[in-house]
Homo-oligomer: A and B are copies of this chain.
Amino acid sequence: MIGVDWGTTSFRAFRIAADGSIRDRRTALRGILNIQNSKFADSLREEIGPWLAAGESHVLLSGMIGSRQGWKEAPYLPCPAGAPEIAAALVEIEFDWAQVKLVPGLSATDEAGVAEVMRGEETQVLGVLTAMGGSGLACLPGTHSKWTRVEGNRIVGFTTHMTGEAFGALRGHTILGRMMREGPADGAPFDAGVRRSGDPGGLLHHIFGARAEVLAGRLAETDAAAYLSGILIGHEVRAALDGRQGEVVHVIGSPDLTMLYARAISAHGGFAERHDGEAAARGLAWIGEHATWR
């Protein structure tokens, strides 16, 4: 089969063998925001045409391609949901002679009853956690970080933290960014920011320190961005781990970002295990196995 993790900014396709191993892969800067005039079918044909010509006919797409802004909307499926429930809710698309199906996003409510949604991350989480015993806590850091609880191979709940997007907005559009200069993202200033997140006063107070400490000559301009990043990631991790200290967190994503999260998780009393970005391929294979193909 062919699995595609098709997000807002990127397109990653995998040709997957019957045993779940990856036979081939393609990556393109063809996220749904980069595609003009909704030419999703043309884009897909250009990217995976050779694999289709070679005999593949089962194509599974996950991510924002199934959103209202994507090719066709695959409505959110409520939690708890695992591969069988997701496979039963796939949305089919007309596409040449191949069978193309969209993975639905998931919805949930957090412990206070507030709405939650994810789209794409469910596939990555299932890809990693089914290989790790089918239960546990996963964190997918990024623009909108997701903390996901899995039990018996099903996603039972999750929370979103707007950490990456808040960092970009604060750095790019507040007084904090004006005194920041390029510097390393990790190291001692990041760790100092993580420690700072445990102090009294709250996040909105702590972030001001990224300015005041520079004004006071106690933080270099080249270290201020890493310090701010540590404060925000520290607050996310601290809130997400509240009452769960000592637990293993499966951190799924790019190596630079999972390294930062592993440091913050360790500082706040958790144990991080890092996983790379091919989690999506394993999740697509797992959902594909449960799907009904003609």
Residues of A within 8 A of B (CB): 107, 110-112, 114-117, 144-145, 159-163, 165-166, 168-170, 172-176, 196, 199-209, 212-213, 215-216, 218, 232, 235-236, 238-240, 242
Given A161-B205, A166-B170, A174-B165, A112-B199 contact (CB < 8 Å): yes
Interface centre among A111, A116, A145 (most CB of B within 10 A): A116
Contacts of A114 in B (CB 8 A): 196, 199, 206, 209, 212-213
Q: Are B201 and A203 in contact (CB under 8 A)?
A: no
Contacts of A209 in B (CB 8 A): 114-115
Q: List 11 A-B contacts (CB under 8 A).
A: A107-B216, A111-B199, A111-B201, A112-B201, A114-B196, A114-B209, A114-B212, A114-B213, A165-B174, A202-B239, A205-B240
Q: Are B205 and A204 in contact (CB under 8 A)?
A: no
Taken together as a complex, chains A and B put the C-alpha atoms of A235 and B203 apart, in Å, by 8
Contacts of A235 in B (CB 8 A): 202-204
Query: Which of B111, B175, B202 is the one whose CB lies under 8 Å from A200?
Result: B111
Given A111-B201, A168-B173, A202-B240: 8 more A-B contacts, CB < 8 Å: A114-B209, A115-B209, A144-B208, A160-B205, A169-B173, A172-B173, A203-B235, A205-B239
Q: Are B215 and A115 in contact (CB under 8 A)?
A: yes
Q: Are B174 and A212 in contact (CB under 8 A)?
A: no
Given A115-B215, A169-B170, A173-B173, A162-B208 contact (CB < 8 Å): yes
Taken together as a complex, chains A and B put the C-alpha atoms of A256 and B236 apart, in Å, by 31
Taken together as a complex, chains A and B put the C-alpha atoms of A165 and B86 apart, in Å, by 41
Contacts of A175 in B (CB 8 A): 165
Given A115-B212, A166-B170, A173-B173, A161-B204 contact (CB < 8 Å): yes
Contacts of A238 in B (CB 8 A): 202
Contacts of A200 in B (CB 8 A): 111-112, 239, 242
Contacts of A236 in B (CB 8 A): 202, 204-205
Taken together as a complex, chains A and B put the C-alpha atoms of A115 and B211 apart, in Å, by 9
Contacts of A176 in B (CB 8 A): 162
Which 10 A-B pairs give the minimum distances between C-beta atoms?
A: A202-B239, A115-B216, A169-B169, A115-B212, A161-B204, A112-B199, A160-B208, A169-B173, A114-B209, A173-B173
